[in-house]
Amino acid sequence: MITADQRHAALIDTLVRSGELVDDRLIAAFRATPRHLFIPEAGALTVHGTVLDRRTSPDAWLAAVYADDAIITQVDDGDPARPRGRPTSSSSAPTIVARMLEAADLRDGQRVLEIGTGTGWNAALLAARLGDANVTTLEVDAEVLAGARSALAASGRSPTVHLRDGETGYPPGAPYDRTIATCSVTRVPRAWIEQTRVGGIVVTPWTAMEGAGVLAPLTVAADGSAAGRFRGGLGFMLLRGQRSPDAPSHDIGAEPDETRLVDVDPITPLTEFATAFPITFMVPRWRMGLRRMGTGMGLWLSATDGPSWARVYPYGSVWTVEQGGPRSLWDEVESATAEWNALGSPDQDRFGLTVAPDDRHRVWLDTPNGPGWDFAQPNR
């Protein structure tokens, strides 16, 4: 049996060889902070839904802990009365944790506010790098926080921990040199920017649509704005206050205003991150998902600002496109796709985000003054 220490050492070696971990002090923090101390012995799940139990399957539990993948530690906010199976807390994949902490450009003596304590592993890594007294971490869920407190104590780490909605930050400790969110947002909360010093960095996963996110390290300017270029794709659970309601698509039971056939697969580009991500912010106020539609797996689109909708599904060797409502939603998607192609099909790392002092969000290409798209507040 490969021991926990051996697996831990191998994981960190892999992160270093891959270039995800570069900072020597951060590497030392990872080596001093084993992940297995922060994963529940029972009740956690792999991203594929496999139940993990250290007591009955210790080898499988340990292998999952030191795989480079997320581990789900809570579903449905811990409420058995809502059996949707929606992950609501997790331990992020080690590669993603390393990437976020490297993006924070941590320096000795800095003070950090973490939004979302989760299992406590990320807070422990920050404390190992910067010192316990320099780390404040916030968790909105009392049950999740209780587990994190226990794990932090067992690991010998003691950052400042508060049960609090992280969307409002923690003013008593401000200003911070870094604010790091372990949840995704569609709107960067003003409190995070205001509570980060000028020249400091807000590191957050950002998404225009749940499921298609990027890492956004945003440097705070003296005028109250924050801006930065995206760094790779990733997926995080949304900040609880920014979740979308569980509403059905507007196309359910609706008759189309328009129907047409297309002979080039329109579904695959919207199910692959590289081609879907730019469309998510170039088209305002919408969401999408997959659903079986009689002839195969189809794609539904639904506006969040009214009853507009579209659906696309295979029909023999072609695809049927139907849409209805005041917006021609599928036409908007086609126009955005054409615009992206005309720009040279740039990948996500060529885009960035500026949050203005009045909280307007603008996604831009290559530079803050380059081509851009005002990101509209999603209707929820």
Residues annotated as catalytic (active site), given as ranges: 92
Coil, strand, or helix at residue 178? strand
Burial of 98 (0-12, 13-18, 19+ CB in 10 A): buried
Q: Which residue's entry shows tokens 């569609």?
A: 186
Q: Quick one: which of 352, 226, 203, 379 has its CA closest to 277?
A: 352
Cα torsion for 254, 258, 259, 265, to the nearest 10°? Answer: -100
**Distance between CA 203 and CA 234 in Å, rounded?**
13
For residue 294 the two structure tokens come to: 């009689």
Which token pair is 341?
Answer: 């192609």
Measure the CA–CA gap between 302 and 333, rounded to whole angstroms. Answer: 12
The Cα 200–Cα 136 span in angstroms is 16
Is the alpha carbon torsion for 125, 128, 131, 132 positive or negative?
Answer: positive
**Residue type at 94 in one-letter notation:** P
Return d(Cα 379, Cα 79) in angstroms, integer.
26
H or E element at residue 137? strand 135-139
- Return the number of other C-beta atoms located less than 10 Å from residue 13's C-beta: 13
Closest among 131, 209, 161 to 376, alpha carbons compared: 209
